[in-house]
Amino acid sequence: MTAGPQASKSAGNPAGKPVPLLDVNRGNAPLRDEMLAAVAAVLDSGRFLHGPEVHQLEQSLATLCQVDHAIGCASGSDALLLALMAADVGEGDEVLVPSYTFFATASAVMRVGARPVFVDIDPL
């Protein structure tokens, strides 16, 4: 991804070449072969749900967070839903959610029967 034409010709870039905004491959490059091998091993095993790698991830995350248990989720939406369920949030409850957020934040609240209450990040 590059900046638009208006950003490409400037004193710092007289040639007018595209200015890269973010090279997502650069950070992955040193571990690329290791990451591809790990993904291939999981796919080849046929156990990408509840397999040993998931269990290892959950144990490592629990250790990192200094808690007894951690649960791997398919998405942030699932994680929000499980957290609300674990906290016994439900019908008749109100949950404060940021007004500047992804829709899944309020959706998870509504899925457990509670009411999302949007709060602004700036109290003024």
Any idea where the domains of the chain sit in the sequence? 29-72, 73-124
- The model's confidence at residue 11, banded by pLDDT at 50, 70 and 90, is low
- The model's confidence at residue 9, banded by pLDDT at 50, 70 and 90, is low
Residue 117 has pLDDT above 90, yes or no: yes
3-class DSSP state of 122:
coil
Burial zone of 108 (CB within 10 Å; 0-12 exposed, 13-18 middle, 19+ buried):
buried
Question: Looking at per-residue confidence, does 62 or 27 come out higher?
Answer: 62
Residue 80 has pLDDT above 90, yes or no: yes
Is the full-model pTM beyond 0.75? Answer: no
Quote the CA–CA distance of 42 and 118 in Å, as a whole number.
41
